[in-house]
Amino acid sequence: MKFGMNLGSARHSIAEAFGTANIFTGEADLILIRLLRVPLPFILAHPEKSLSAEELSSIDEIVARRLSGEPLQYILGEAYFWGIPFEVGEGVLIPRPDTEFLVESALKRLPPDAPSFFLDWGTGSGCITIALLTERPKARAIMAEKNPRSIEWAQKNLNHHGLCERASLRHSRELDDIFCASEKGSLDLIVSNPPYIPAKDISGLMREVRDHEPHMALDGGDDGMDFYRKLLHGAPALLKNGGSLIMEIGDAIQAKTMRNEKHSNLVLAEEIADFSGIPRCMVWERRL
């Protein structure tokens, strides 16, 4: 695809191509902002600005990749979460705004001025842990992840934000393989955005997700509940009395299933809905 020689015509052509492909046309501005390293007001105020052959070539490459279905965050190498930039690419789940409800809930249970210790199980890019550590300067974290490629991205983000001394990144497939005996019962909080999409529904996801993001971070088993069961079963042994387990929830059906089940030493303390009223997080507290 070829674009006009100035900023205004390039912006119009990108948006038109994206609209035809049912891609959010606002991504045109995100591409130009990142590529040209100028703010949106500059783009809007200077449509006559000439673009170099190199800039036009880069635009053409980015747009072609986006039209093929590759997520824009992978193309640009960056996603924002909690107002913080994170490095992302193939092999890691892209942080999503809905998960910020999880961070908000966790912050209510981590003291702002006292030491605390939490586990982020299935950390992915590390976005939840890094957001929490940024807001709670006396907190420490363990970040557990089973996907080696995601671990690489989480380490990059820890390095970038200077938080390596306050977080331990561990390769984990089960809750039991993370902690030594002396660490059990020491957590103030477990937070998790686990895989929760039923396996049969993966093929029906948007192609950006289905074809590019790691299925390991999406597939929650036959009913999407496999990792909820593991967390609800294993959390009591890791939490202090009064500690909390907070999980992102896929939908109202999953929330209802967990709401109606009894879990040893765990009491359902709170449910948080998103702005559409859909259950988004559930909070359990460990009680003796």
Tell me the pLDDT of the chain averaged across its residues.
95
In a shared domain, residues 202 and 265: yes
Mean pLDDT to the nearest integer, 142-157 = 97
Domain edge (last residue) among 68, 90, 112? 68
- Residue 265 within any structural domain of the chain: yes
As a whole number, mean pLDDT of residues 254-279 equals 93
Model confidence at 1, in pLDDT bands (50, 70, 90)? low
Residue 152 has pLDDT above 80, yes or no: yes
The H-assigned helical ranges of 169-269 are: 207-210, 226-238, 252-259
Please tell me whether residues 39 and 172 are part of one structural domain.
Answer: no
Question: Does residue 211 lie within any of the structural domains?
Answer: yes
> Same domain, yes or no, for 46 and 107?
no
Any domain includes 243:
yes
Q: Are residues 22 and 158 in the same domain?
A: no
Kindly report, residue by residue over 209-232, the tens digit of the pLDDT: 999 999 999 999 999 999 999 999
CATH code (residue 124): 3.40.50.150
Residue 73 lies in a domain: no
Q: Stretch 15-22: mean pLDDT, rounded? A: 96
pLDDT band at 78 (very low <50, low <70, confident <90, very high): very high
Q: Which of 41-45, 175-179, 274-278 is the most confident on average?
A: 41-45
Q: Give the pair of three-digit tokens for residue 69.
A: 């279905």
Show which of 43, 68, 93 is a domain's final residue.
Answer: 68
Domain that holds residue 147: 78-286
Domain match, 132 and 50 both:
no
87 and 142 housed in the same domain: yes
pLDDT tier for residue 173 given thresholds of 50, 70 and 90: confident
16 in a structural domain: yes
Quick check: is 2 in a domain? Answer: no
3-state helix, strand, coil in the chain (%, to 5): 45, 20, 35
Same-domain check for residues 64 and 169: no
pLDDT at 176: 85
Per-residue DSSP letters for 130-172?
HHHHHH-TTEEEEEEES-HHHHHHHHHHHHHTT-GGGEEEEE-
Judgement on whether residues 63 and 91 belong to the same structural domain of the protein: no
Cβ of 100: how many Cβ atoms within 10 Å?
18
Mean pLDDT of the region 82-109: 97
Residue that is last in its domain, among 48, 68, 88: 68
Cβ atoms of residues 222 and 265 within 8 Å: no
pLDDT in tens, 180-207: 766 789 999 999 999 999 999 999 999 9
Q: What is the total count of domains within the chain?
A: 2
The predicted model gives 272-276 an average pLDDT of 93
Residues 106 and 160 in one domain: yes
pLDDT digits (tens, 9 = 90+) for 120-149: 999 999 999 999 999 999 999 999 999 999
Say whether both 41 and 18 belong to one domain: yes
Reported pTM: 0.95
Q: What is the spatial distance between Cα 113 and Cα 136, in angstroms, rounded to a whole number?
A: 8
- 83 with 28, same domain: the answer is no
Report which secondary-structure segment, H or E, holds 176: none
